[in-house]
Each structure stands twice: as structure tokens, then as C-alpha cells.
Chains A and B, each alone.
Chain A
């Protein structure tokens, strides 16, 4: 099962946070199989780039747009965004949470399989509030799998996860890229190269 064709384009993009200009003249494309690692110190604009890609931000200058093969494709339905928060209901159990998202995404994915992939198979009836920080991140991974969206926009998803989990994340990500998906990844810890076109976008002190 492959994911739909897509190309996300940043053209000469500039963005502000508050009154200060974060970056200017940002150009890149993200298409099937691509992995881009956003690297940079706190406050350099990594999250801003992810939110620009998700459509939550409108750039100060330049353009963020999609090139899509399918006529009826909706950009909003291509991305799965994971901010640095965990959007979870502490009162609901893991399986209730994933059932909810399956309905929301109108997804055909198998919940049990996604849970196993994320390493949460034995936590189905545990309330989300009782999960550890790392397990919450794993649950977020399971939601990404369920969303079945081609473009993953991930903000520090791998942090808080133990080394086993990191390995898991890596294999899930490489599967996703092989299926024709793409990912924009903000991370402090080094990201391994996956796929031929993987690149590194460094936001440095100017």
C-alpha cells in the first residue's frame, strides 16, 4: 500500500515570532521518500517551520504551497502534525483514544497492529494519564500510524523515548519513507540517515 504523491514547497519563506524575524529566504521541497532533519538551538524556528508546513502559520513573506497529482486532494488531509505537546485525554484508555482517532481520520488501519508496532500492545486498557512520558510518545507514534497520512511533521517525537523505543521509531520512520511518505523532523538528538535523499536543515545563529 503506497501513500499518495505530494510535494510541499517552501519558496523564499520568512517568518516572525513576536517582533523578531526568525529566518528569511527559506527554500526547500519535501516529496515522497524525503526526510528532512531540522536542526538548531532552542528558539531558532524549528517549530515555526513545522507549523508553517501544517498550515497553522501564514508566512511573513514568500509562499508555502503544495503540488499535488490528484485533483481532489486536500492539503489538510495530507499531513500528520505532532507538536511538542501530547494531545491526549488523561481520562481515556489507550484503545479508546486510538478508536477515537480512527474514526476522526476515517482510517482503515488496524488498531491492534499499530499498537504492537508502537510497543504498547499490553497497555490497551490503561488510562492515558497513567502512562509514562515515554509511553505517551509511543502512543503518539501509534496515532501517526493510524492517521495513514503521507507527510509527517514531527516536533521532538523521539525525545523521552528509551533506546528500544528510538530503534522502534527509526524502523517505523523508514517504513513510512519506503511507502512513499515523507517526514520533516525537528530533533536535538542526531537523526540517522534514512533513504537516499535525506537532508539536514540547519538553523544556526546568524
Chain B
């Protein structure tokens, strides 16, 4: 498992284009949204939570949906599946590397973007917290889509259509958690709901990811 994560980190370090565009997209999405909506501070502050969550979802989906593709096409995935490592560990390692490589940069920039949109510092941290709590559910559903589409060269739009229905509950409770946040919010209903969604996404997502990768490697003649 360490070896898998180390490999992903090395590859991300060697190839900035594998994660940097996701970060740039995030900031760009916020900027063009502000241009489209207009710069009135009160409206922006009201919309900040929803905007940040939307930018985050799309940045993650568009980048991560081709996450298994390269390894599937070069035959790397089938070699890993033959190597005798547990598939559970493989999926968890992938989720950890997605968190480290794709989500951490976004988590860092969220308070800054929140500040630019006129949120109080504390509200900005609440945004980060809500994303952090929802991270496993986000990652496992996006990875599931990536696994299903791992042999599809043109997966972008269908990835969005496929994964968004599953992300709607996370979006709903994530935005609500961020907006209702104050210092005692760690025990709020929204946070509990997100934790529940995490559990479900793992128990459903991990077997689905393994099965989808297998279906893309294996074939019945």
C-alpha cells in the first residue's frame, strides 16, 4: 500500500499537469462565476458556499474521472491485480493518493477563495471543514466513475452525468454544513449526515470500484 501511494506521489511530482489544472480550474470557475453573477458583495457572500462546493465538485470530477485510464491502457492495472496485493488495499491507496494530490491543494485554497468572496475567516474555515468531512464520500464515488470509465477515452461529460446523482446528497449536506457552521457545529445534523454518507460510499464504492476495474481488465469471450 505504501508502495502504491509512493508511486502516485512520485508521478504527481514528476508531472504537474496531472493535478495543477484541477487547482487552476477551481479558481477560474469561481472567477467566471463572479463575472457572470456580478460583483455585488452581499449576493456573492450568499452564494459563496454553493459556488465553492460546485467548483470543487467539477474540479474533482473532471480531473479524477480519468484517473485509472492511463494505468488501464498501459496494462499497469492488470499487472497490479496479478501482483498478489489485496485489491482492497489498492483502492484505499488510490483514495489516499487522490486525497493527498488532488484534494489537499483545494482544501488549502478554499479559505482564500472564501475570503475573496467576502466570507468571514471563520466561515471560510467552516467551508474547509465541510469538504474535509465529506472527502471520503466524494473520493469514492468519483473513483467509482473513474473505474467504470477507465477504458473510455472520452469520458468527461458522461463522468459528470454518472457521478453527480451520487454526489447530490453530499452537495446538499456539505453546503448546509458549511452555511450553518459555528464553533459547535462539529456535532450538527449535517456533519453527522456527511459521516453517514462516508460509510455508505465506502461500503458500496470499494466493491464497485474493484468490480468495475475487473470488468475492464477481464473479458468473457
On chain B, the residues within 8 Å of A99 by CB distance are 3
* Contact indicator A106/B84 (Cβ below 8 Å): yes
Q: Is the interface of A mostly helix, strand, loop or mixed?
A: mixed
Judged by a CB distance under 8 angstroms, whether A89 is at the interface is yes
A92-B14 contact given A57-B219, A74-B84, CB 8 Å threshold: yes
- A 135-171 contacts with B by CB, 8 A: 147
CB neighbours of B83 from chain A (8 A):
101, 104-105, 147
Residue of A nearest to B10 (CB): A92
Select from chain A the residue with minimum beta-carbon distance to B71. Answer: A87
Q: Which of B15, B71, B221 contacts A91 (CB 8 A)?
A: B15
CA distance A175 to B2 in the complex (A): 32
Complex-state Cα separation, A146 to B199, whole angstroms: 38
Which residues of chain A (8-35) have a CB below 8 Å from chain B?
Answer: 15-17, 22
Given A56-B78, A100-B3, answer yes or no on A92-B221 (Cβ-Cβ < 8 Å).
no
Asked whether any CB of chain A lies closer than 8 Å to the CB of B207, the reply is: no
- Which B residues are CB-close (under 8 A) to A122? none
Question: Which one of A75-83, A108-116, A179-187, A189-197 is at the B interface?
Answer: A75-83
Is the beta-carbon distance between A91 and B14 smaller than 8 angstroms?
A: yes
Interface of B is mostly: helix
CA distance A86 to B76 in the complex (A): 8
The residues in B between 3 and 42 inclusive whose CB is less than 8 angstroms from any CB of A are 3-4, 6-7, 10-11, 14-15
A82 CA to B116 CA in the complex, in Å?
Answer: 53
Q: Which residues 82-134 of A sit at the B interface, judged by CB distance below 8 A?
A: 83, 85-89, 91-92, 96, 99-101, 103-106
A86 — nearest CB in chain B belongs to which residue? B74
Q: In the assembled complex, which residues on chain B have CB atoms less than 8 Å from the CB atom of A86? A: 74-75
With CB as the reference atom, state the residue of chain B lying closest to A51: B219
A48: CB under 8 A from chain B? Answer: yes
Taking a contact as CB atoms under 8 Å apart, the answer to whether A91 and B219 are in contact is: no
Which residues of A approach B to under 8 Å, CB–CB?
Answer: 15-17, 22, 48, 54-60, 74, 76-77, 79-81, 83, 85-89, 91-92, 96, 99-101, 103-106, 147
Contact sample, A vs B, 12 pairs, CB 8 Å cutoff: A76-B84, A80-B82, A81-B78, A81-B79, A83-B78, A85-B75, A87-B74, A87-B78, A89-B11, A91-B11, A100-B6, A147-B83
